[in-house]
Structure 1
Amino acid sequence: MSQTRADCVTVNIDNMLNSLSSAPSKPSMFRVSNHLRSINPEAYNPEIIAIGPFHSDKKNLQNMEQHKVWYLKLLRERRKESSVERYVATIRQLEEKARKCYAEDIQLDKDKFVQMLILDGCFIIEFLRKLQHTECRYEDDLIFQYGHIQIHLLHDLMVFENQIPFLSFG
């Protein structure tokens, strides 16, 4: 009996060792420590938009989700693309690498994680483009109708926990 038990332990440990990559991952995205957060809790929370997985489930940030979809549509139309298939294929190839950027396990399935990266990344691109080039703005874009929204968005894009990885192939 003890021989069988030892064999199970050997198999389990060997499986763990074999599943490791050759070098430990070096995450670059962390949550703010509880101690630091306790000093000024609101300083580490986005105000109007969730970028990345850490705050994506907060109800007060859901209003901007439809705006992300709209900005992706505008980007796709500007590039004369009929589908986001190319974006999805590219991000699927980077999905595992992107997950390793976070210091904790991200509890989104593969499809939701890829979708989040695409919507958030394209939103950032379009927002910064419109911020820089006023001629690219639409008259009915609430973000640019009210200056305080732009200020909140710029703040949120700098919040430590409100980010996605910047990756390339290679």
Structure 2
Amino acid sequence: MSQTRADCVTVNIDNMLNSLSSAPSKPSMFRVSDHLRTINPEAYNPEIIAIGPFHSDKKNLQNMEQHKVWYLKLLLERRKESSVERYVATIRQLEEKARKCYAEDIQLDKDKFVQMLILDGCFIIEFLSMFQYKERRAEDDLIFQYEYIRSQLFHDLMLFEN
């Protein structure tokens, strides 16, 4: 019986060793430590937009999700593209590498993670482009109609966990 137990342990450890990448990943995206968060809990939470997975499930940040889609559409139009197929294919190739950038496991499935990367990344690109080039802004874009929204957006984009 002890021989069987040893074999199971051997198999389990061998499986763990085989599943390791060649070198430990060096994550660059972390959550704020619990200690810092207890000092000022709201200082690290975005107020109008979630970028990345850490705050994407918060209900108060869902209003901007439609804005991300709109900005992606504007980016595609500006580039005279009709589909995100090329972006999806490229990000799918980088999905595993992107996950390793996070210090914790991201609980989004592959499709949701790729979608988040595309929507968030294209939103940031288009927002910065519109900020720089005023002629690219739509008249009915609330971000550029109200200074406080734009200021809060810049603040949220700079947050450690966003």
Q: Which TM-score bucket, shorter chain as reference?
A: over 0.9
Q: Does 1:108 align with 2:108?
A: yes
Counterpart CA distance in 1 for 2:114 and 2:102 is: 14
Q: TM-score, normalised by structure 1?
A: 0.94
Counterpart CA distance in 2 for 1:147 and 1:115 is: 29
Counterpart of 1:101, as a letter, is C
Q: Does 1:59 align with 2:74?
A: no
Gaps of 5+ in 1: 163-170
Gaps of 5+ in 2: none
What is aligned with 1:168? none
Deviations 1:120-160 (A, max 9, x none): 00000000000111111000111101111100000000000
What is aligned with 1:76? 76
* RMSD over equivalenced CA pairs, Å: 0.6
Q: TM-score, normalised by structure 2?
A: 0.99
> Moved runs in structure 1, 4+ residues, more than 2 A?
none
What is aligned with 2:45? 45
Counterpart CA distance in 1 for 2:143 and 2:129 is: 13
Q: Percent identity?
A: 90
Counterpart CA distance in 2 for 1:82 and 1:134 is: 24
For the residue of structure 2 that corresponds to 1:135, the secondary structure is: helix
What is aligned with 1:166? none
Counterpart of 1:48, as a letter, is I
Aligned residues: 162
For the residue of structure 1 that corresponds to 2:26, the secondary structure is: coil
What is aligned with 1:13? 13
What is aligned with 2:119? 119
Q: Does 1:23 align with 2:23?
A: yes
